[in-house]
Chains A and B, each alone.
Chain A
Amino acid sequence: MIRTSDLVGGALRALQANPMRSALTALGVIIGVSSVVAMVALGSGAQLQVERSINSLGSNLLIVVPGAAQSGGVRFAVGGGGRDTLTLADAEAIAQVEGVTAVAPSQRGAAQIVANGLNWNTQIQGVTPAYITARDWQVASGRMFDDTEERQARKEVLLGQTVVTNLFPNMDPIGQTIRISGGAYEVIGVLASKGQSGFQDQDDIVLAPLTTVKRRISGRNGRADTVSQISIKAASGDELDRIQEDVTELLGQRHHTNGDNDDFTVQNLASIAQTAQQTTQVFTYLLGGISAVSLLVGGIGIMNIMLVSVTERTREIGLRKALGARQADILHQFGLEAITLSVAGGVVGLLLGILGAWGMTTLFNLPLVISPLNAALAIGFAGLVGVVFGAYPAWRAAQLDPIEALRRE
């Protein structure tokens, strides 16, 4: 019986004998595996990104916005809609729904901020203190205004990290004064960073008391009691669906609508996240599947070259048989050459794929996700390609009649 080490050594030597040919043959597998790895990593990265950005908006969160629902409640234009149909009274009513821990009405506005000799265009959210609880904000330094200050329409603000970076690059903003639409506001706190959500920089934000924003910044032309959005935090994620139904029913009664003509939409971020995740997952499979076709083509390349190799080495095969090689030895020899090519291609392809995934995720600003399972699968699949496409040439070699083979020139 031939030793395994000799079998492997023989395969490596045979491949080294034609380095150019071996490299080109492996290239098919390299391209196949690297594209599968890169595409799956890219898809997984996109998936994680969607998940993260939706989670960063707040956990166990329902958001009520004005305007009718579109296609099953999936609508991303948070706070959009034409008419202001939501009121502070709606928010107070929602707070009575069972399982709701925080309700935060908010009014969005945009303004030019001037401070410290610099200016910055950003969005201003007029909020109640409950907002930071509902939307999972953390106060990094300073403090949040309280309910009294909110009612008194104090000219106090909290700044997001992006605003701090742009207006107070080298100093502590707490206690400083900024000017919004001509008025002077005191910075009482700085928010901890949340990062990007999709294409939106969540840290590019200024929080101010709701009453202040309504009176002084954005609500001056509209009714005093309307808000652009109501955020609802539930005690637990299990109750989100039930609370969503209750809130929809409650607001329907209050607005005298019956579901078909609702002038508001209750968005459940968990279900939006799920839909978005399913979409990106389908894309991941699709991209991976297309790449797998190139791996198949690589396998056919291996089979082609192995058949040529068997023909070229017919005499050698005859000699080996005359010297005592069994059919199984010849089968293993050529099979192992094919598998070595494909596994080597798989390893190189994996490395190139990771490199490619790193490049693309950096370019698209996505997280890099390489799961060890996917990596192992890619190499395993490459090995399988070698087994499948190496089997026939190896079988042909093993079946050669030694007398005929030795006679061949």
Chain B
Amino acid sequence: MEALIAAEQLVKLYQMGEETVHALDGVSFTIGRGEYCAIIGPSGSGKSTLMNLIGGLDTPTSGRLIIDGADVGEMADQNLAQFRNSMVGFVFQSFNLLARQTALENVELPMIYAGIDPRERKERAAELLARVGLGSRMGHRPTQLSGGQQQRVAIARALAGRPALLLADEPTGALDTHTGEEILQLFADLNKEGATVVVVTHDPEVAALTKRTIEMRDGRIVGDHMNESVAA
């Protein structure tokens, strides 16, 4: 399988007062194109730091992180912004929708920064909302939608820039179990259609619903295995 993400000896240090924290302490792995995988670990394990690096929100202290052939560590702000816009689709635990805008406008947002023509992006946003099952709720504002529906809007928004990678941070954390399973099923469906999906979570049950689990602890990878039940 062709590697979409290749990390070599990734190190990320934070200065917390006098103390230096090794958030990532030499992490190496690859994630192939078309994978559906979970990064799991307790809080402080470095999984959020890793997610920020993969998402282009932060740069590593040392080591190399190649995503889709590009070295993220070498990028300046402008290139990182473009990388986030076109390469990564973020899905957050708390949805992070703009409260004053409709579902459709929220999905349009990344395409605005890509400079896409208004008519074209409205069409695409409508298609995406239909894809996540919200075709009839495009004009609703986030407050008029349930948590699961809001997360679906967020997923449609993440897909808007046709990213190489869907990056979800505790996507089910704010949802009940049933709705959470529906969201993970949506990820599985999108993965079947070809999307690479990485879910960051502390919940083993969530991780178990993906195809591969990378387990982290204290800034290192302590486990990496395929989830047979789903793969089968």
Contacts and interface: CB of A to CB of B under 8 A. Distances in A.
Interface string A297-333: 0000000000000000001100111111111110000
B74 to A, nearest CB: 17
B52 A323 contact: no
Interface string B74-98: 0001100110111000101000101
Interface stretch (A1-9, A31-39, A261-269): A1-9
Contacts of B52: 403
B21 interface: no
A323 B85 CA distance: 5
Range of interface residues on B (Cβ < 8 Å): 20 to 34
> Is chain B's binding surface mostly helix, strand, loop or mixed?
helix
Interface in B1-24: none
Given A323-B109, A324-B82, A326-B78, A406 B96 contact: yes
A315 B81 contact: no
Contact of A322 (B78, B90, B100, B118): B90
A17 interface: yes
Contact of B58 (A316, A324, A403): A403
Contacts of A81: none
Contacts of A324: 81-82, 84-86, 110, 113-114, 161
Nearest to B100: A17
Contact of B110 (A10, A323, A403): A323
A402 interface: yes
B112 A321 contact: no
B98 A319 contact: yes
A322 B55 contact: yes
A200 to B, nearest CB: 64
A11 to B, nearest CB: 13
Given A322-B90, A324-B114, A316 B98 contact: yes
A3 B115 CA distance: 5
Contacts of A316: 98
B98 to A, nearest CB: 6
Nearest to B158: A323
Interface of B: 52, 55, 57-58, 77-78, 81-82, 84-86, 90, 92, 96, 98, 100, 109-110, 112-115, 118, 157, 161
Interface of A: 1-3, 5-6, 10, 13, 17, 315-316, 319-329, 402-403, 406
20 contacts: A315-B96, A316-B98, A319-B98, A320-B113, A322-B96, A323-B84, A323-B90, A323-B109, A323-B110, A323-B113, A324-B81, A324-B84, A325-B113, A326-B78, A326-B82, A326-B113, A327-B77, A327-B81, A403-B58, A406-B92
